[in-house]
């Protein structure tokens, strides 16, 4: 036993350390605004750990040292919810939202009123309840079936944004906070990255990763997984009275240091709900976490009480869902497609499934390693994802369904890449360090020839209207054309030869001849892009055209000259050099030159404009300009609008919700402009240097 004064001093130090660490944690994980350097945090934590080891009587369950996770348990204890955790009814359309609003107005007998709603994201995670007794976290549980869940207190303690003590001097006797546990996308990527490099199985999406991590019997594993929590309501409450509205409750929880998403807001009437729904939907892909809809709640708690419940869902709330971005379907077969550059892409043929707003029948499997890693086989049940306008992909298989399948059909072998090109039979090669296996036959492979031609004619390249994939296929298969230059050869492509093709009326033949004519003298950037040089996309094509001014200068450029172009690194430079070393390509270009297929610049473009020679990156949402508009302004002033921040960047124009690009700019000490400063720069140039 210690002498009284010394014991008091130690206890006070422990208290002090805990409150410093809790505060630092809160600032780091909830406010996203760290104030204490990591090294100091670690020092304080170690000091606290040392005292707790020497004085075990001072150890408490809410100590910051307890977040590392307790040892494994055999099973979770059952946890009965004092107040049942209800479920939410869903709406999938504006009509269903309007019907919900009508039922609310009827239920409140205020048919002509515009109702105020609290609006919030529908987090795609797991519902949990956190219990605080006199401000200290005492237990927490999953929702389970709503009446009883699992006691996952030890796991919840490891979630850094969940306070172990509420941020108040006068805590309520009891507070049950309800919310959603999820994994941020960046933490999910990091977790899968680590799993991949260790040859372990990856998670198919952040939701599964969050569920798998929270329900670990060994909380030390949960601690390493980095989960997040957002509050969306309260349950059992004692010793305090709630404010009058849901939004005020959320503000109160915020003041208690609980994490509340800043996407939470209020809206009036169906119009207000729909505006929120669309605005949130537009930002959906840019949010740091997955959501599957928006949740609307009658804001007045008194009105909520009047409305009450039907069955197990409240009448005062509804979840308005976005079209699902992921669905389960079955793999009917795995094809291998040959792309423009000869890359072989395995593609899953799927039982048709409605996902992300369209019916999907094919999904990319990216490359050989991806198929192997996910071990996708014919007959498997798979999760297909289509987010935004991205090509649908297979994110993973549901292995538990494979064992069921094995009972009825024989096992399918693991996928392997063919050794010969499925289109031309040439050997398939895979260079060291490359993910893609390729057909070695170049433009002698009809598939590559078709893709090259299709790309050449595409809208953002030479823009030859009417020359789609079906027509290109016929032209190549009937040996009318083999290269883009043949398009401009009237002895090959003319009204008669075109009209002889299947499903080609005279009028459309005439239109195509005209469209080919119209495509002559396209500007250099389009032409460079149309050539289909590996690793040269639209932006790089623009950069090259701007830098070299004409095609001859580009063709003559050695690696060193190419490196002077912003954003051109060794890989791109090598692709360009390889392309222009190929005799076949030189021959085609010469014929295109004679056909006047493009308009060359006179010489290197003279740098003019307020931003000449400057590289800018636009990130986040600007108050009035769209990102494309900002880019256009930069280019009009002779500047370069780059996609990523590097040491070559001169300015970063940052709007709301700017993320990693802004952080990187700050790290590199790059000048950061808001929209107003950007306008100032465009109008008056940089006056500060
Ligand atoms: O983000 C969510 N997933 C969310 C779920 C939310 N924002 N609010 C919710 N509100 C409720 C009520 C209105 C019943 C308190 C919910 C859920 N419930 C919920 N989560 C899982 C089942 C129900």
Decide yes or no: CATH 3.90.320.10 for domain 524-607.
Answer: no
What's the rounded mean pLDDT across residues 572-598? 92
Q: Where are the alpha helices (DSSP H) in 495-550?
A: 495-499, 506-518, 524-530, 538-548
Average pLDDT over residues 149-174: 96
At 68 the pLDDT is 83
Give the pLDDT confidence of 657-684 residue by residue, as tens digits.
888 899 999 999 999 999 999 998 988 8
- Listed in sequence order, the DSSP H helices in 113-179 are 153-157
Which residues, in sequence order, are bridge partners of residue 347? 335, 364
Closest C-alpha residue for ligand 1 atom 4:
122
What would the pLDDT profile of 590-605 be if each residue is shown by its tens digit?
A: 999 999 999 987 544 5
Position in ligand 1 atom list of the atom nearest CA 88: 23
409 has a pLDDT exceeding 90: no
The torsion angle over the Cα atoms of residues 56, 58, 61 and 62, rounded to 10 degrees, is -140
* pLDDT tens, position by position, 185-232: 999 999 999 988 888 888 889 999 999 999 999 999 999 999 999 999
Compute, in angstroms, the gap from residue 242 CA to the centroid of ligand 1: 18
Q: pLDDT band at 437, cuts 50/70/90?
A: very high
pLDDT score of 269 more than 70: yes
Least confident of 34-38, 119-123, 153-157, 158-162: 34-38
Position 518 pLDDT exceeds 50: yes
CA–CA gap between residue 132 and residue 38 (Å, rounded): 28
- Cα separations in angstroms, 551 against 546, 592, 602, 603: 11, 12, 10, 10
Q: What does the alpha-carbon distance between residue 629 and residue 385 come to, in Å, rounded to a whole number?
A: 30
The answer to whether residue 374 scores a pLDDT higher than 90 is: no
Output DSSP code: residue 509.
H
Q: Which two tokens stand for residue 4?
A: 């009284």
Place of tokens 């949130």: 280
**Which residue's alpha carbon is at the smallest distance from atom 13 of ligand 1?**
317
Structure tokens at 545: 């055209």
Secondary-structure class of domain 4-67 per CATH: mainly alpha
Classify domain 442-521 at the CATH topology level. Answer: DNA polymerase; domain 1 (1.10.150)
| 285 secondary structure, DSSP code | G
Give yes or no for residue 142 having a pLDDT over 60.
Answer: yes
Fold of 326-403: OB fold (Dihydrolipoamide Acetyltransferase, E2P) (2.40.50)
CA 349 to centroid of ligand 1, rounded, Å: 36
Residue 621 to residues 120, 286, 523, Cα–Cα distance (Å):
20, 10, 31
Question: Is 127's C-beta closer than 6 angstroms to any atom of ligand 1?
Answer: yes
Q: CA 641, CA 565: separation in Å to the nearest integer?
A: 13
pLDDT band for position 608 (50/70/90)?
low
Percent of the chain with pLDDT over 90: 69
Nearest CA to ligand 1 atom 14: 86
Q: How confident is the model at residue 606 (pLDDT cuts 50, 70, 90)?
A: very low
How is 615-658 classified by DSSP, letter by letter? EEEEESB-SS--HHHHHHHHHHTT-EEESS--TT--EEEE-BT-
Evaluate: CB of 87 within 6 angstroms of ligand 1.
yes
Closest residue by Cα to atom 22, ligand 1, is 87
Name the one residue in this structure whose structure tokens are 């009284």.
Answer: 4
**Residue 72 binned pLDDT confidence (cut-offs 50, 70, 90):** confident
- Residue 88, phi-psi category: left (phi > 0), alpha (psi -120 to 50), beta (remainder): beta
Q: CB of 374 closer than 6 A to ligand 1?
A: no
Residue tagged active-site, from 74, 122, 351, 492: 122
Percent with pLDDT over 70 in the chain: 97
Mean pLDDT of the region 642-659: 90
**What backbone torsions phi and psi does residue 166 show, to the nearest 5 degrees?**
-75, 150
Phi-psi domain of 379 (left: phi exceeds 0; alpha: psi -120 through 50; beta: other): left
Average pLDDT, the chain: 91
227 CA to centre of ligand 1 in angstroms: 18
Cβ–ligand 1 distance for 123 under 6 Å, the answer: yes
122 catalytic residue (yes or no): yes
HSE of 682, CA atoms in CB hemisphere, 13 A: 20
Instruction: Supply the pLDDT for residue 89.
Output: 95
pLDDT > 80? residue 405: no
Query: Of all protein residues, whose CA lies closest to atom 15 belonging to ligand 1?
Result: 233
Residues in CB range of 501: below 8 A, 6 or more apart: 471, 474, 475, 478, 509
442-521 matches 524-607 in fold: yes
The answer regarding whether domain 95-321 maps to CATH 3.40.50.2020 reads: no
pLDDT tens figures, 235-244: 999 999 999 9
The CATH number of the structural domain formed by 615-684 is 3.40.50.10190
Q: How far apart are CA 349 and CA 364, in angstroms?
A: 9
Instruction: Give domain limits for the chain.
Output: 4-67, 95-321, 326-403, 442-521, 524-607, 615-684
Q: Residue 276 Cα, ligand 1 centroid: separation in angstroms?
A: 17
Helix then strand then coil, in percent of the chain rounded to 5, is 40, 20, 40
| Rounded Cα distance, 92 and 13, in Å | 55
86 ligand 1 Cβ < 6 A: yes
Contact 10, 18 (CB under 8 A): no
Choose between 154 and 689: higher pLDDT: 154
Which residue in 502, 567, 570, 514 sits closest to 539, CA to CA?
A: 567
Give the model confidence (pLDDT) of 200-211 as tens digits.
888 889 999 999
- Ligand 1 neighbourhood includes 314 CB (under 6 angstroms): yes
Of the candidates 181, 220, 257, 179, the residue with the CA atom closest to the CA atom of residue 19: 257
Hey, which of 178, 181, 246, 312 would you mutate to test ligand 1's pocket, going by the most ligand atoms within 8 Å of its Cβ?
Answer: 178
Instruction: State how far the alpha carbon of 242 is from the alpha carbons of 128, 263, 301, 307, in Å.
Output: 20, 22, 9, 18
Q: Residue 154: pLDDT band by 50, 70, 90 thresholds?
A: very high
Q: CA distances (Å), 689 to each of 607, 654, 681, in order?
A: 19, 21, 12
Residue 546, phi-psi category: left (phi > 0), alpha (psi -120 to 50), beta (remainder): alpha
pLDDT, residue 689, reads 57
Residues 6 or more apart in contact with residue 464 via CB below 8 angstroms: 456, 457, 487, 512, 515, 516, 518, 519
Atom of ligand 1 minimally distant from the CA of 314: 14
């Amino acid at each position: 036993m210690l002498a009284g004064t010394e014991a008091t001093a130690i206890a006070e130090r422990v208290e002090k350390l805990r409150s410093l660490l809790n505060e630092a944690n809160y600032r780091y994980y909830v406010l996203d605004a760290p104030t204490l350097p990591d090294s100091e945090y670690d020092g304080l934590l170690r000091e606290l750990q040392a005292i707790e080891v020497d004085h075990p009587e001072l150890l408490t369950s809410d100590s910051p040292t307890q977040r590392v996770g307790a040892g494994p348990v055999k099973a979770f204890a059952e946890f009965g919810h004092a107040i049942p955790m209800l479920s939410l009814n869903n709406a999938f359309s504006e009509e269903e939202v309007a019907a919900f609003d009508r039922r609310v107005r009827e239920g409140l007998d205020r048919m002509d009123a515009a109702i105020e709603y609290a609006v919030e994201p529908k987090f795609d995670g797991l519902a949990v309840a956190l219990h605080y007794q006199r401000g200290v976290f005492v237990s927490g549980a999953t929702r389970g079936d709503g009446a009883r869940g699992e006691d996952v207190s030890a796991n919840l303690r490891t979630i850094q944004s969940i306070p172990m003590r509420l941020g108040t001097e006068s805590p309520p006797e009891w507070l049950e906070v309800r919310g959603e546990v999820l994994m941020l996308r960046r933490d999910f990527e990091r977790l899968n990255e680590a799993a991949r490099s260790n040859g372990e199985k990856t998670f198919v999406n952040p939701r599964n990763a969050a569920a798998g991590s929270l329900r670990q019997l060994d909380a030390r594993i949960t601690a390493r997984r980095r989960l997040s929590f957002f509050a969306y309501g309260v349950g059992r409450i004692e010793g305090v009275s709630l404010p009058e509205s849901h939004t005020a409750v959320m503000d109160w929880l915020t003041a208690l240091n609980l994490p509340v998403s800043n996407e939470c807001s209020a809206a009036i009437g169906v119009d207000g709900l729909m505006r929120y729904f669309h605005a949130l939907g537009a930002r959906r892909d840019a949010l740091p976490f997955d959501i599957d809809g928006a949740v609307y709640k009658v804001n007045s708690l008194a009105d909520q009480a009047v409305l009450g419940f039907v069955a197990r869902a409240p009448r005062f709330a509804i979840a308005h869902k976005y079209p699902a971005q992921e669905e389960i379907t079955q793999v009917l077969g795995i094809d291998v497609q040959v792309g423009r550059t000869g890359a072989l892409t395995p593609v899953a043929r799927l039982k048709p499934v409605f996902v992300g707003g369209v019916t999907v029948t094919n999904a990319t499997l990216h490359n050989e390693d991806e198929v192997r890693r996910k071990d996708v086989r014919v007959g498997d049940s798979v999760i297909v994802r289509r987010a935004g306008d991205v090509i649908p992909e297979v994110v993973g298989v549901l292995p538990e369904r494979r064992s069921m399948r094995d009972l009825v059909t024989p096992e399918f072998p693991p996928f392997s890449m063919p050794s010969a090109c499925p289109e031309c039979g040439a050997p398939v090669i895979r260079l060291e360090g490359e993910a893609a296996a390729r057909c070695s036959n170049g433009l002698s492979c009809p598939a590559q020839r078709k893709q090259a031609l299709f790309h050449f004619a595409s809208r953002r390249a030479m823009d030859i209207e009417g020359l789609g994939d079906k027509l290109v296929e016929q032209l190549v298969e009937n040996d009318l054309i083999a290269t883009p230059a043949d398009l401009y050869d009237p002895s090959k492509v003319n009204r008669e030869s075109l009209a002889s093709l299947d499903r080609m009326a005279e009028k459309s033949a005439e239109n195509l001849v005209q469209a080919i004519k119209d495509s002559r003298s396209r500007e250099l950037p389009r032409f460079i892009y149309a050539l289909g040089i590996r690793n040269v996309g639209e932006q790089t094509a623009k950069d090259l055209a701007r830098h070299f001014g004409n095609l001859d200068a580009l063709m003559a450029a050695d690696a060193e000259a190419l490196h002077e172009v912003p954003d051109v690194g060794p890989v791109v430079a090598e692709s360009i050099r390889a392309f222009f070393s190929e005799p076949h390509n030189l021959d085609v270009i010469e014929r295109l030159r004679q056909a006047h297929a493009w308009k060359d610049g006179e010489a290197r473009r003279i740098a003019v404009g307020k931003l000449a020679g400057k590289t800018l990156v636009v990130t986040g949402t600007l108050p009035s300009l769209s990102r494309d508009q900002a880019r256009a302004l930069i280019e009009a002033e002779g500047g370069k609008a780059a996609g990523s921040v590097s040491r070559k960047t001169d300015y970063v124009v940052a709007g709301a919700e700017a993320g990693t690009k802004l952080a990187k700019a700050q790290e590199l000490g790059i000048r950061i402009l808001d929209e107003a400063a950007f306008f100032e720069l465009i109008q008056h140039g940089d006056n500060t240097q």
